[in-house]
Amino acid sequence: MNVIKLGGRVLDDPQGLTTLFQHIAQQQNLEPTLIVHGGGQQVDDLFAKLNLSVVKYHGLRVSMAEQMPLIVGALAGTVNKQLLGMAIKQTLKPVGLTLFETGLRVQQGQPELGMTGHCIEPFEVSELLLTLLEQKHLPIVSCVGFDSRGQWLNVNADEAAAGLAKALSATLTFVSDVPAVLDDQQQPIAQLDSDSIEQLIQSGTLMGGMRLKVEQALNVAQFLQKQVRICGCSCDTRHHSGTLINP
Ligand SMILES: Nc1ncnc2c1ncn2[C@@H]1O[C@H](COP(=O)(O)OP(=O)(O)O)[C@@H](O)[C@H]1O
Ligand SMILES: CC(=O)N[C@@H](CCC(=O)OP(=O)(O)O)C(=O)O
- Segment 74-97, tens digit of pLDDT: 999 999 999 999 999 999 999 999
Q: Do residues 167 and 50 make contact, with C-beta atoms less than 8 angstroms apart?
A: no
Q: In which residue ranges of the chain is pLDDT below 70?
A: 236-240
Strand partners, 144: 154
* Protein residue closest via CA to atom 6 of ligand 1: 210
**pLDDT at position 238:** 54
**Is 93 marked active-site?**
no
Q: Which residues of 66-93 are buried (b: 16+ CB within 10 A; e: fewer)?
A: ebbebbbebbbbebbebbbebbeebebe
5 Cα nearest atom in ligand 2: 12
What range defines the domain where residue 110 resides?
2-245
Model pLDDT, residue 241: 86
The domain that holds 46 is classified in CATH as 3.40.1160.10
Structural domain tally of the chain? 1
Please choose from 12, 58, 176, 196 the residue to mutate so as to test ligand 1's pocket, defined by most ligand atoms within 8 A of CB. Answer: 176
Distance 112 CA to ligand 1 centre (A): 25
Please indicate, yes or no, whether the overall pTM of this predicted structure exceeds 0.90: yes
pLDDT of residue 58: 87
Residue nearest to atom 16 of ligand 1 (CA): 209
**What's residue 234's pLDDT?**
74
Q: What is the pLDDT of residue 240?
A: 65
